[in-house]
Amino acid sequence: MIKRGVVVIHLPFVYEGVVSSFVSMALRLFSFSGCRSFLREHISPKATLCALRQSGWIESRLGAKRHLLSDDVVKLEDFQRKKLAVAHLITGSDGNFIELYGHKLQRNSLLLQDELHVLLHLCRSAEDMKTARDAVYRYHAENRNGKYKFGPVFIRLCYELGLEKMAAATLTDKEMRGFFSDFTSFNIGIDMLFVKGYYDDALEVLQFMRRQRVPFNKETLMLASAVCYKLNTTESHAICTSLIEEAQVKGRSVTRHAYCFAVALALKQNDVQRAQALFAQIVSTDRICQNLKILLLVMSGATQEAIVDLSSAVQLSKSPSFFRKPEFSQELLDQMRLRIVGEAQATEAEQVISELERAGQVTRQTLDDMLCHTPTAPKRKMAPIVREKRTSRRIRKPLHSTLTSE
């Protein structure tokens, strides 16, 4: 219960007064201005890095490296800084709070939104997450129409701690229907499963999301294309094609990344005609698209056109250094060599490839590496601090001296 900015928490168990005061302090961090100002004044980026190392969060993040969603979508760093802010205020007491919260669950006491909010920002281990999981199940059963959505917070915790199986099980549990009410939680969960290689589980989450009529956004469609690409089956190819066609018909946005996964999958399935139709929708000339185009030309029998494109890339190697020169995968060029053995263009193709190698335009990265990359999130500009004007507009002197002289 919050009245006039004062947080009142009722914890009907041991240490009620002590823990309640910690909760009150922590919750003030989540006000619109309080959280930002506290983070700027008390939790510097350097302090954040040190704290993450000491607490083991760096190691957990290495296990949950993003490959598809950028940080502005996952928002893992923002979440971790909020956790640090709460831990900063409740130093030495976070374990007690989680233990006491467990006792509260055992006593079947009433769960309050504010307490759960703090609990989820104190979890640091798989053991803590067992308490958190039990808490969200109880809270959801008692508060089906709660205003605050805890789904994304819970899934970010799973992402941070490497609990992808717990995330998948909770996302697809019918008892939790409505708890994950939008695409954010599902997207983060699917991304986590994709990174760990649990593609069948990721597809199951997508299918559950579909059955629950949770709308797909452009990131969901990209993740679906990526999962289908990794599964590389006739069924996954049909699912990917169907989802993209549906989005096109309904006028929804389809990202370049989603199209690239779909094209690569079609080529893996030897569906060159479908790959050509999908590639025609891409209006980009980045490195992934350049490599996909060469592979598409070779597989469609347009070898001479592929050689012409590679020759053009060689000419760009003579451009000034600040121009980004096209790079081609060694794996892709090797495939091209194998496909044109004995053909009339084989000698010409070998010469062009050799020139690309000498120009440093051949990379060890595979096409799969290029596709499964972490996009760079746009940098957010910090709003400038507006200082109160302290000069007189009339005579351009400091305000205090003008007042005293008058």
**Domain final position from 162, 191, 209:** 162
Q: What percent of the chain has pLDDT over 90?
A: 51
The helix or strand, by DSSP H or E, that contains position 195, with its residue range, turns out to be helix 183-196
For residue 155 the two structure tokens come to 């899934």
202 lies in a domain?
Answer: no
79 lies in a domain?
Answer: yes
Q: What is the pLDDT of residue 399?
A: 41
Task: Determine the Cα–Cα distance for residues 126 and 146; give it in Å rounded to an integer.
Answer: 26
20 lies in a domain?
Answer: yes
**Domain final position from 138, 162, 186:** 162
362 lies in a domain?
Answer: yes
32 lies in a domain?
Answer: yes
12 lies in a domain?
Answer: yes
DSSP string, 222-267: HHHHHHHHHH-SHHHHHHHHHHHHHHHHTT----HHHHHHHHHHHH
Reported as a single tens digit per residue, the pLDDT across 89-123 is 765 554 578 888 888 888 988 888 888 888 998 99
32 has pLDDT over 50: no
17 has pLDDT over 90: no
283 lies in a domain?
Answer: no
Cα separation values, 247 from 212, 240, 255, 258, 273, Å: 18, 11, 11, 11, 20
Q: Is 355 helix (H, G, I), strand (E, B) or coil?
A: helix
Confidence of residue 29 (pLDDT cuts 50, 70, 90): very low
190 lies in a domain?
Answer: no
Full domain range(s) for residue 328: 297-371
Between these two residues, 160 and 9, which has the higher pLDDT value? 160
Q: What is the pLDDT of residue 181?
A: 82
Q: Based on the structure, what is the number of domains in the chain?
A: 2
67 has pLDDT over 80: no
Residue 265 CB neighbour total at 10 angstroms: 27
CA quadruple 178, 145, 31, 182: dihedral, nearest 10: 20
Q: What is the mean pLDDT of residues 335-358?
A: 90
Q: What is the pLDDT of residue 398?
A: 52
Task: Determine the Cα–Cα distance for residues 305 and 96; give it in Å rounded to an integer.
Answer: 68
Q: What is the mean pLDDT of residues 324-352?
A: 90
Which range (128-137, 262-271, 336-345) has the least confidence?
A: 336-345
125 has pLDDT over 60: yes
**Domain final position from 162, 190, 219:** 162
Q: What is the pLDDT of residue 79?
A: 86
Cα separation values, 195 from 151, 162, 340, Å: 20, 11, 35
355 has pLDDT over 50: yes
Those residues with Cβ within 8 angstroms of residue 370's Cβ, 6 or more apart along the chain or in another chain: 287, 288, 291, 329
382 has pLDDT over 90: no
* Max Cα-Cα span within the chain: 97
**The model scores a pTM over 0.85:** no
Q: What is the pLDDT of residue 349?
A: 92
Strands 362-363 and 328-329: parallel
